[in-house]
Amino acid sequence: MLQQQTRRLTRLALTGLCCLLLTSRGQAESDQAEVPNIVVIYADDLGYGDVQCYNPERGLIPTPHIDRLASEGMRFTDAHSSSGVCSPSRYTLLTGRYHWRSRLQSGIVSTWGPPLIAADRMTIGTLAQQQQMRTACIGKWHLGWDWEMSKEERSLIAGFPKPKNAQAVEPITDAHRSTWEAVFSRTIPGGPATRGFDIYFGTDVPNWPPYCFIDQDRTVGIPSELLPAADFQNNRASVQGPALEGWQLEKVLPELSARAVAFLEDCRQDDASFLLYLPLTSPHTPLAVNEPWKGASGLENACADLVMETDAVVGEVLAALERNGQTDNTLVVFTSDNGFAPYVGVADLESRGHFPSGPLRGYKADAWEGGHRIPFVVRWPGVVKPGTICDQLVHQADLLATFADCLGVELPDTAGEDSVTLLPLLTGSTEPVRETAVSCSIKGVPAVRMGSWKYIPAPGSGGWAKGGDPQQPEQLYDLAVDLGETTNLAGSQPERVAEAKRVLRSTIDGGRSTPGEPQANDVPVTMAKSLTP
């Protein structure tokens, strides 16, 4: 009922919003003024507490550009990704559908893995394309491609051991190089250019092969070497494999920034409306910090320095919008795919006074809040009141429905099954827009929200963090009074536990969590096994 009322209110809000835009910009004769351009900047492994405005007391890393964006827009304090890790969160942000309705029940898309997003599924890109907007994805994809290679070819491309030390050498034969020449000379189907984006440029996964850029559906150059063993030290590369000769991990982030700025400038020159999806490769590994930022954080931690370099890229994009006269008619979203990775020095950072999860429990991969409660900032001049803070429950799945409302589009039943419009919140409402939300750990353990209550059908984090009581197989927290998840109330609140199970069962079985025709999940949902009848 709440979501049905929200959608009705949204239609009214959208009409008023368009009038506001037309009036405030003095362009009543222009249809273009009714819809905004859209920029989504997606950081990788940026924790809730890594952004200064989210963690002013226990956050020591300066993030002036993200903070400025928040001061000029709305900062959400109860926003969530679909998972505590990468690929599933990206799937949900792009499609408005919980990732666990797909084949990805746990973990991430594997190296050289096939596409996760079905070819006929709507994304924020295809939504914008239908409105004749120019679309670009620049950065990390990590949602799979249809790599065309035989079993024999794959055996010569994959499976290299990770170097044991900086001097390790793995011999490359003529058979390797001839196979790589053949495979990387082919087009790569199933990528972003087939999922709603006119333009793609990036490194599919920057710490995995192939170590090269991909432009549309081809590698830029033919990888002919293995990445040097030294690049596998100090949280840089993770998986050995084909690389361009002389490939430098440090050049990835600056090139993505330059390409994003160039795309915005091209749109200005052509007077084109646009949607830019900018999934940054940082501050995730490789911790390849460029010279101006080395040591800049003062925390003696490369990831902390990379957070600052990431913030600088945000500043470059915002500066390009301003320089091009695009700021006033562009909706900008900044967020992160999951929490901070504990393996890049979290204990040392906290000993120095910087807490990447802020007041939250857990980190990347966990079902606890530190795994999936993320920074989420929206700026839309003339619509979103500057400097506002929203404490309502929202989810990255909500971007598809929000953008559809901003563009005046009604989603079909087969799209955005878990997406709720945020437009009422953006235009000043203080009423909740969603009653429930589901986020998962890396192992597929769900965290179910019902208002301020949170249920986890497992004794621990469901991820990498240790803790939890094995004598209590379920967890229930009231986040309104216990944001740090310190007091498990499952034993004393059996009715709420039962209600959470019913909510999760209903969300799974209906194939959607929003009003509309029931839809089918792609596969049986494995987390349903944890629910009693």
Q: Give the separation between CA 89 and CA 364, rounded to whole angstroms.
A: 12
Q: How many C-beta neighbours within 10 Å does residue 150 have?
A: 11
Please state, for a pLDDT cut of 90, what percent of the chain lies above it. 90
Query: What domain range includes position 501?
Result: 437-530
Q: Which of 197, 202, 179, 195 is nearest to 256 (CA)?
A: 202
Measured between alpha carbons, how far is 296 from 245 in angstroms, rounded to an integer? 30
Would 518 be classed as within a structural domain? Answer: yes
Residue 509 lies in a domain: yes
Q: How many helices (H) and strands (E) does the chain have?
A: 13, 18
**Percentages helix, strand, coil for the chain, rounded to the nearest 5?**
35, 15, 50
Mean pLDDT of 192-198: 98
Work out the average pLDDT over 72-86: 98
Locate 177 and state its tokens. Answer: 């190089």
DSSP state of 83: B
**What's the confidence (pLDDT) of residue 532?**
58
Cα–Cα distance, 400 to 279 (Å, whole number): 16
Sorting pLDDT into bands at 50, 70 and 90, what band is 26? very low
Q: Where are the alpha helices (DSSP H) in 84-205?
A: 86-95, 124-130, 151-155, 174-183
Which token pair is 389?
């803070």
- Does the pLDDT at position 286 exceed 70? yes
The rounded distance, in Å, linking the Cα atoms of 90 and 106 is 14
Report the distance separating Cα 466 and Cα 461, nearest Å. Answer: 7
| Cα gap 285→318, rounded to integer Å | 24
Please report whether residue 196 resides in a domain.
no
Q: What's the CATH number where 451 sits?
A: 3.30.1120.10
- Please state the domain count of the chain: 1
Q: What is the mean pLDDT of residues 68-80?
A: 98
Q: What pLDDT does residue 169 have?
A: 77
Domain membership flag for residue 524: yes
- Considering the domain boundaries, does residue 441 fall inside one? yes
Q: Indicate the burial class of 530 (C-beta count within 10 angstroms; 0-12, 13-18, 19 or more).
A: middle
pTM: 0.94
Q: Of 26-30, 168-172, 428-432, give the range with the top mean pLDDT.
A: 428-432
The whole-number pLDDT of residue 6 equals: 44
Mean pLDDT computed over 233-254: 97
- Environment class of 330 (CB within 10 Å of its CB; exposed 0-12, middle 13-18, buried 19+): buried
Query: What is the token pair recorded at 94?
Result: 């792009």
Residue of higher predicted confidence among 21 and 285: 285
- DSSP state letter for 280: E
What pLDDT does residue 166 have?
A: 80
Averaged confidence pLDDT in the chain: 93
pLDDT of residue 267: 98
- Give the tens place of pLDDT for each residue, 487-527: 999 999 999 999 999 999 999 999 999 999 999 999 999 98
Average pLDDT over residues 340-347: 98
10 Å CB burial of residue 524 (0-12, 13-18, 19+) is exposed
Residues 6+ apart with CB under 8 A from 370: 47, 48, 339, 340, 356, 357, 360, 361, 362, 363, 364, 465
Q: Are 121 and 412 in contact (CB under 8 A)?
A: no
**109 inside domain:** no
Q: Please say if the pLDDT value at position 87 is more than 90.
A: yes
- Does 160 reside within a domain? no
Distance CA 416, CA 199 (A): 23
Distance CA 453, CA 489 (A): 10
Give yes or no for a contact between 525 and 508, defined as CB atoms under 8 angstroms apart. Answer: yes
Higher pLDDT residue, 50 or 11?
50
Buried b (16+ CB within 10 A) or exposed e, 405-439: bbbebebeeebbbbbbbbbbbbbebeebbbebbbb
Per-residue pLDDT band at 438 (split at 50, 70, 90): very high
Residue found by looking up tokens 């597929």 in the block? 444
- Indicate whether 314 pLDDT > 60: yes
Residue 235 confidence (pLDDT) above 80: yes
Q: Which of 254, 287, 332, 288 is nearest to 65 (CA)?
A: 332
**Res. 34 pLDDT band, cuts 50 70 90:** low
Q: What is the pLDDT of residues 445-472, one digit of tens each?
A: 999 999 999 999 999 999 999 998 898 9
Q: What is the pLDDT of residues 114-147, one digit of tens each?
A: 999 999 999 999 999 999 999 999 999 999 999 9
Inside any domain, residue 457: yes
In this predicted model, what pLDDT tens digit does every residue of 398-437 receive, in sequence order?
A: 999 999 999 999 999 999 999 999 999 999 999 999 999 9
Q: Concatenated DSSP letters for 299-346?
A: SS-HHHHHHHHHHHHHHHHHHHHHHTT-GGGEEEEEEESS---GGGTH
Q: By the 8 A CB rule, do 53 and 310 touch?
A: no
pLDDT value, residue 533: 52
**pLDDT given for residue 241 in this prediction:** 97
